[in-house]
Structure 1
Amino acid sequence: MMRRRAFLATLAAALTPRLTWADVGSPVFLAAGKRDEDHFLHGLSAAGESLFRIPLPARGHAAAAHPTLAEAVAFARRPGTFALVIDCATGAVRHRLTPPDGMQFNGHGAYSGDGSLLMTSEVVAETSEGRIGLWDTARYTRLTDWPSHGIGPHEIRRLSDGRLAVANGGIRTDPVDRRKLNLPDMRPNLALLSEDGALLDRIDLPDLRQNSIRHLALSGDSIAFAMQWEGDPSEPVPQLGLWTPGSPPRLCPPPEAEAFAMQGYAGSVAATRDRILVTSPRGGALMLFDAKGRHIATHHRADLCGAASTQGTFTVTDGSGAVWTAEDRGLSPLSRADTRWDNHLVALG
């Protein structure tokens, strides 16, 4: 009898119509946030209004949005203790993903173009050796994992042709308390993997080995990468770089007068066809650059971090609950909520 009931439940789930993003109000962004002492994943409209709010068991970091279905994976703040596959129509947790023994999620993931696969940023807990987990999304079963070809991978981005860019931050951390263990010897890199996980190309920063490569955005044929400086804080270093695979990386310093505006820390990066935006919650600032990496403007606002682009427009969030549009001329308010927005704003589509 129990087997029959289990079979019928599985059959019913398989026959249940799967809703699309249009069925849940056509959100444009996903964002984690905290209200009072509770944590949530929100779907936001283009105007920054919350269309749905789904509880999380602890602080969230980034999310991955299925390309068509109203389904998202919410990742814990690293080192990851949860990755939840959430039905954004009902709020139900469809699956709780668990990496293999001795491994941890590292805050980010990406779907394949057709949504059939999920790729997750992971580390071997004891060594911080990077891995990319591969999951079949029909039932979210683990298929395999690939080397990330670096230490401490964080954000991963799927290119339109299926290749995968991996920001290997280079920092070995204690698996429990996150202490940084190898700062004098760290070596971040940006790796490009094929659709089957083979290493296609990789660059590092031999002259700035303590500039941890953390976050990624796609800017035409280039990959924009945002960095966090772990060296001498009195030394001004750029927090933005551009890399066109097959060519050397190009760093994008701001004007000398603003060299310390971001306090060595980039929290998120986003790109449109002709602009790149980098935020710094530590510096309370964002910087805009053109597609060639030339500085255009710096705007100031406390605790800015989340950033995404859609239809040529930048949207940013801050830790006080505000959502903003960012342009060359300044910041314009979109909405405000009783929510402390977390690090990332994820654009759908």
Structure 2
Amino acid sequence: MLNRRGFIKASFAGASVTAVAACSNRLLTPAAPALELVSAVDDANGQHYISGVDSSGQKRFQIPVAERCHGGCPQPHGDHVVVFARRPGRQMHVINTRSGQLERSVHAGDGYHYYGHGVYSPDARLLYVTMNNYQTSAGLVRVYDAFDSYRQVADFDLAGIGPHELRLHPDGNTLVVALGGIETHPDYDRIKLNLDRMEPALILMDRHSGEITARYSPSHPQLSCRHLDVSPDGVVIAGYQYEGPEWETPPLIARLDTATGEFSEPELPLDELAGLRNYTASIAISRHSPLAVITAPLGNRAIIINYRTGELVQRIAVKDVAGALPYGERGFVVTSGLGGVFLLSADSDQAVPHGSYPVRWDNHLTPGQFVVA
């Protein structure tokens, strides 16, 4: 476990002292733990950075990077947070959390690009990363050895196209992978090349052998399975992005109980579903209560559900809502592409402001140190 004092003391260049101080005072209340956040951000000029902020806001880092980044992951019991370029980017960046410096950048290699997500093994040694072989369109999970300068040690074939977010199951042995089903190629930037023949899935994979142990398909082939989280008791909540006609309102949430193998798509009220505008972004599950938050930036809202029953608990308006992490007993912290940081609670339909920064937050937040489930 990282020493809290050893984590990056960070804020954003150009943020007002008043905003940072106000954020700090609220976040250091005795009733709530300190926030430590890392995220990809862009400034007003479109420059890409990896930035960090802690609850004091007194020290700062903002690391410029050549490509826009997306998600990240903390190293269990170690010093690293890795942030990945988003599709079709080709670098991942290893930040040392004790020094606050970029320790190394790792290139995807000729013919490959990253999808913006990864996860460590429980012993902190192996890093599993979703990737695309764009010469064949094959999706894969690449394995790196973090104890050996992030040397590539294996590639696991996913038998599908467009893997995106992955998480480690609480059993410590199973990777849960969202397979988006969308073919892309760096020569065409982010153009989707196969919307008429998508095969999205939610996949369970043995992290030791690469064997796919289960595969679950969405109810419609154009429901791209993109983001997910896993509860301490092994329930997966995944979010879809619908690639069909915008006037249709298919389900946008999947639920998998890995203990029973039961896969379902919880129903939301039709007006609520329409308000998500067929696009979910970040998903975060509470470590202390049966709650999950799903952000929908196009719909300018976040919803909180009971992940055990799939029932809607709360809807909260946040303009251009982006990343999310669990916070406290029944709450979550979220960011906005407009620069704001907010606290959400299952007990209120109002977002509580906790600072505003002159950056555009990307769709994901990473804890600045490893948090035990």
Q: What is the TM-score of this pair, normalised by structure 2?
A: 0.83
Which structure shows the bigger proportion of residues in strand conformation?
1
- Residue 208 of structure 1: aligned partner: 220
The residue that corresponds to 2:335 in the other structure is: 317
For the residues of structure 2 that align with 1:100 and 1:56, how far apart are their CA atoms? 18
Alignment partner of 1:135 is 2:144: yes
CA offset at residue 50 of structure 1? 7.6
| Structure 1 position 279, deviation (Å) | 0.7
Describe the SS at the equivalent of 1:185: coil
From 161, 165, 168, the equivalent of 1:158 is 168
Q: How many pairs does the alignment contain? A: 331
Structure 1: distance between partners of 2:102 and 2:125: 18
Secondary structure, counterpart of 1:161 in structure 2: coil
- Contact 1:47 1:334 (C-alpha < 8 Å) held by counterparts: no
Contact 2:90–2:108 (Cα < 8 Å) also in 1: no
Distance 1:310-1:114 versus aligned 2 partners, 3 A rule? farther
Match in the other structure for 2:267:
253
Matched, 1:145 2:158: no
2:352 is aligned to 332
Q: Percent identity?
A: 31
Tell me if structure 2 keeps the 8 A contact 1:149–1:191: no
Shift of 1:119: 0.8
Paired AA for residue 343 in structure 2? T
Aligned match for 2:82, one of 58, 73, 77: 73
- Tell me which of the two structures has the higher relative contact order, counting C-alpha pairs closer than 8 angstroms and 6 or more residues apart: 2
In structure 2, the partner of 1:227 is 240
Q: Secondary structure at the match of 1:282?
A: helix
Label 1:322 to 1:262 Cα distance change in 2 as closer, same or farther (>3 A). Answer: same
Conservation of the 8 A alpha-carbon contact between 2:90 and 2:109: no
Partner of residue 257, structure 2: 244
Counterpart pick for 2:43 among 35, 41, 46: 35
Distance 1:221 1:90, change over 3 A: closer
Which one of 304, 308, 332 corresponds to residue 321 of structure 2? 304
Q: Residue in 1 aligned with 2:192?
A: 180
Unpaired runs of 5+ in structure 1? 1-18
Amino acid at match of 1:257: D
1:57 alignment partner AA: A
Aligned CA RMSD, in angstroms, stands at: 2.2
Question: Paired residue for 1:270?
Answer: 284
Q: CA deviation at 1:46?
A: 5.5
Question: Which residue, 179, 183, 188 being the options, matches 1:168?
Answer: 179
Q: Is the 2:164–2:180 Cα contact (8 Å) retained in structure 1? A: yes
Unmatched tracts of structure 2, length 5 or more: 10-33
Return the alpha-carbon distance in structure 1 between the equivalents of residues 199 and 123 of structure 2.
Answer: 34
Q: Do 1:20 and 1:69's aligned partners in 2 also have CA atoms closer than 8 Å?
A: no
TM-score w.r.t. length of structure 1: 0.88
Q: In the TM superposition, what is the alpha-carbon distance from 1:65 to its structure 2 partner?
A: 1.3
